[in-house]
Structure 1
Amino acid sequence: MVHTYREYFNRNFTREKYANFLHLLEKDYPPVPIRFAETPVFIPEDLKNQLIAAGEEIIRLIKQPGFKELTASAIPKDWIVPNENDHPHFLAFDFGICKDEQGRLVPRLIEMQGFPSLFAFQLHLADTYKEAFELNKLADFSPFFHGMDQQTYISLLKKVILGPFAPQEVALMDIDAPNQKTAIDFFVTAKHLGIKILSLTDIFSENGQLFYQEQDEKVRLRRIYNRLIFDEVSTQQELFKTSFDPREPLDVEWITHPNWFYRISKFTMPFLKNEFVPETQFLNALETIPADLENYVLKPLFSFAGMGVIIDVTQADIANITDPENWILQRKVDYEPVVKSPDGYVKTEIRLLYIWPDGEEPQLCINLARLSRGKMIGVRYNADFDWVGGTVGLMAREIDN
């Protein structure tokens, strides 16, 4: 999106460099079953400032008194976890990049979550793009905001995830952690923090405390860096019988607490009223169906990775919804193809990633980007294209005065 950088990159792009990029990305890690784009996104200054402003608007809502009361019904009754803390430790806001009436690039909110994303991997991804495509010849690029660098970023991750505990007392947990599509993020996290990567069934409970087995030693867990989405285990609850049930009182700290996955989600979007957020309503609160339904999208509240979304909405679709309290109707975001590829322009989405230490303010740290030619951004909607997939936004290095 920065013309000078884009022209340089495209002019010097080769398939050999891209192959080397993929090789370097997986070097020392298991194969990654995700498509990565041929290019990073070069974020211009004006758009960067708008993204920062858009994120601050959302955080203002999250920090206001009464936010927990406002979002109390967001958490499914069967999945309430006790001992919730005051705020999430991680935030992720997805923005589609569009153009306004004056032709200015503008961000529009698509999704949000109070849940960890690829916080460690995006650092590795940015470094790999810079190395494989020799971007240091062009400028001093960074994926970070507000003058943050790699050292301060990793220190912040350690502070929030490890806290006062030893690395062996903290584990990254998912349902089947080593075999997740995004497991490379788990391995990069473990490399920087020294923590264990555990599947749900690797952990067991004794008298309200959690443990895992390390050879002949039983090791107590003090913290869980939680990557488990409960929707994924809703039909596999027998796993809890051989591990532990997170809904029971447990002497363990959650980073971040599972309830925040629901509180900060599509459920929150109808409460946001600003220029960066498309018109969004709970389906059960809809007084009249819009006459221009073709300009709206229907989304289930409790789903992830774009599952269940109805893009081309009809009145019949709305009539067939039996639980309208669990759906939102949102005005479509008209993505502008703005990233120039060798054979046309590609749409992009940028995810802002925040870390929120206890007793401090949330900090915008790094970003994730995705390129798309399909109707939706997700990988499954772009399987047969090139110059699409996961990537990262790079900005000319910021200097703190």
Structure 2
Amino acid sequence: MSQQLKSKPLPSFIEERLEFYFQDLIEPNTNQKHLVLGQRPQADAIVMQSNDYLSLSHNQDIQRAHRDAISSHDDNVVMSAIFLQDETTKPAFEHQLAEYVGMESCLLSQSGWAANIGLLQTICAPNSPVYIDFFAHMSLWEGIRAAGAQAFPFMHNNMNHLRKQVERHGPGVIVVDSVYSTIGTIAPLRDIYEMAQAYDCAVVVDESHSLGTHGPNGEGLVKALGLTEHVDFITVSLAKTFAYRAGAILGPKKLAQTLPFVAYPAIFSSTVLPQEIVRLEKTLEVIKKSDDKRNQLFNHAKALTTGLKQIGFHIRSESQIVALECGNERNTERVRDFLEDNNVFGAVFCRPATGRNKNIIRFSLNADMTPQDIDHVLTVCQKAFDHPELEFV
């Protein structure tokens, strides 16, 4: 019989901090878990918590390529990518992804988080102005902090507010998501480019939620809008449509020549392994040929958003990400439980992903859903909307 280990007493200031988090985030909830932790879905549940938009996680061709690569690769590259930056060691996938997106160069990173932090740490001098949409991904905010730059937020997709900020603080870097990961809105990229051109600003676009899903062959919104030559840098998480764990930074060749030796996430993390790159190469090949899945995905998104708006929900989505705005934590917990009791599972977004009392339940649609799935979600949402104890913003 194993003996239960006891942890040693913590210093009081740490104990107080952890207790504060427990009292703030755990104890108020009925199930005594964090708000994002509801039930576990059963086999027949409709699960919209994953960002695997084209349903590639279980693609047999991708899995086979990955398995074969694990068996055949014996390269000892468990090291920082800083040592692998010559043409004989850089992966061909970087060139393939750069060509796909339409940028001059590409650098793989360990995640989309690492990509955004590494890029901003490289291109932003201390105290330089960075203009960031309020709804931009947290990794972009953290990148500004890591660079020692100054964040000047502008209201979501509000070009007038952005203009006022730039006129007040001068040329800098404008950072946006192409598709925003919380409520599924789309950035006005053409307006942002024109603003940047007028005020001598650089533009960074995080295409994590549009690469693979939007544009011809899934090439992304920047390329679909003909803005590739006008956007300075693109970042992407390959844990969304690519359904794996990595990220990428795309931009001019000079960036690829310098960032690996400047950005802390690039220097102090191990490189993406060769067998993982083979998987990503195969995934890119599959994504390019997945127009049918992209069409299915957006047919589902249109049907769901149209149906929810007809019910009376305030839906701001313009993409495959659809959010129910639930307000405070107690109401969000009740909505979550009602949906899950009826076999509909979304992802709860709360502090720090959203503002206080601005919680949402996010539905991330995928191509393998059926019209019957959409009908069931709408039926359950109608019941939730009519429920006297549930509220929606």
Superposition TM-score, scaled by structure 1 size:
0.30
Structure with a larger share of its residues in helix: 2
Superposition TM-score, scaled by structure 2 size:
0.31
